[in-house]
């Protein structure tokens, strides 16, 4: 289950500076947010032994993006340090962003503490995206429909991934996995893909500042 709200399973003391960690698939295989050092410590203690983080590297000006750590000071009394990093897990390649803020400890010594950390899964090891020179350069010679039907039936192989539900999220995941050349089977209880919308709503309207009749689409047309 995707959980996008802050985790509240553990109590958090109020004498600790606010800190937030947002993980998108890299460590949790989910969309999870954690608030407070107690919850973040629990989250990392549980998952670091199994995710096996390695090759942790801070991005510098020598990288292609040139994203070296920098001090941001929009106002005289407000500043933070922002940096980018990359790392690997046992199954994927990931990236992260951190923001450090100045905090005075009990002895009034200035320390830079993490205020927010974001980690994101970029690629799966062994399954590079089929783009650029990895794209299939062979022509299907007009046999695309036959090849697609063969692929859909899984007559000679079993799917690697099973996706339950052909809604927008299921289709997005299937398209992403297909780009990584991971065979995927989508099962949908309705007769047609999109029936979970079609059977619920009469029309689809764009959420534009101005919503007029011509922005709406009738499902039957």
In order along its 221 residues, the chain shows pLDDT tens digits of: 334 344 444 444 444 558 999 999 999 999 999 999 999 999 999 999 999 999 999 988 776 666 788 888 888 888 889 999 999 999 999 999 999 998 887 788 888 889 999 999 999 998 888 777 877 777 766 677 777 787 778 877 888 999 998 888 888 889 888 888 888 999 999 988 878 888 888 876 666 666 554 445 555 54
Which of 96, 171, 158, 90 lies closest to 124, judged by CA? 90
pTM score: 0.69
* CB 116 within 8 Å of CB 98: yes
Burial, 51: exposed, middle or buried (Cβ in 10 Å; 0-12, 13-18, 19+)? Answer: buried
Write the Ramachandran bin of 200: left for phi over 0, alpha for psi from -120 to 50, otherwise beta: alpha
Fold topology of 20-124: Nuclear Transport Factor 2; Chain: A, (3.10.450)
* CB 215 within 8 Å of CB 205: yes
Helix (H, G, I), strand (E, B) or coil at 197: helix
* CB 41 within 8 Å of CB 48: no
Helix (H, G, I), strand (E, B) or coil at 38: helix
* CB 105 within 8 Å of CB 116: no
Which of 60, 69, 64, 29 lies closest to 46, judged by CA? 29
What DSSP character marks residue 138? -
User: Domain coordinates of the chain in residue numbers?
Assistant: 20-124, 157-221
Q: How far is CA 85 from the centre of its chain?
A: 16
Name beta bridge partners: 75.
78
CA distances, 3 to each of 28, 74, 118, 183 (Å) = 11, 33, 15, 26
Neighbours of 103 (CB within 10 A): 13
């Amino acid at each position: 289950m995707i959980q996008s709200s802050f985790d509240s399973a553990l109590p958090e003391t109020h004498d600790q500076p606010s800190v937030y960690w947002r993980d998108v698939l890299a460590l949790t295989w989910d969309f999870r947010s954690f608030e407070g050092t107690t919850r973040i410590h629990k989250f990392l203690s549980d998952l670091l032994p199994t995710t096996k983080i390695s090759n942790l590297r801070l991005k510098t000006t020598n990288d292609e993006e040139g994203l070296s750590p920098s001090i941001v000071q929009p106002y005289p009394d407000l500043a933070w340090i922002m940096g980018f990093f990359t790392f690997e897990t046992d199954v994927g390649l990931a990236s992260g962003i951190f923001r450090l803020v100045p905090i005075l400890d009990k002895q009034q010594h200035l320390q830079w503490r993490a205020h927010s950390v974001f980690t994101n899964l970029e690629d799966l090891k062994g399954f590079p995206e089929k783009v650029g020179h990895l794209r299939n350069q062979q022509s299907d010679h007009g046999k695309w429909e036959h090849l697609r039907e063969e692929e859909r039936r899984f007559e000679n192989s079993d799917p690697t991934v099973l996706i339950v539900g052909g809604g927008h999220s299921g289709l997005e995941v299937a398209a992403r996995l297909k780009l990584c050349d991971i065979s995927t089977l989508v099962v949908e209880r309705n007769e047609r893909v999109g029936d979970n919308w079609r059977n619920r709503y009469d029309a689809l309207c764009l959420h534009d500042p101005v919503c007029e009749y011509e922005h709406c689409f009738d499902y039957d047309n």
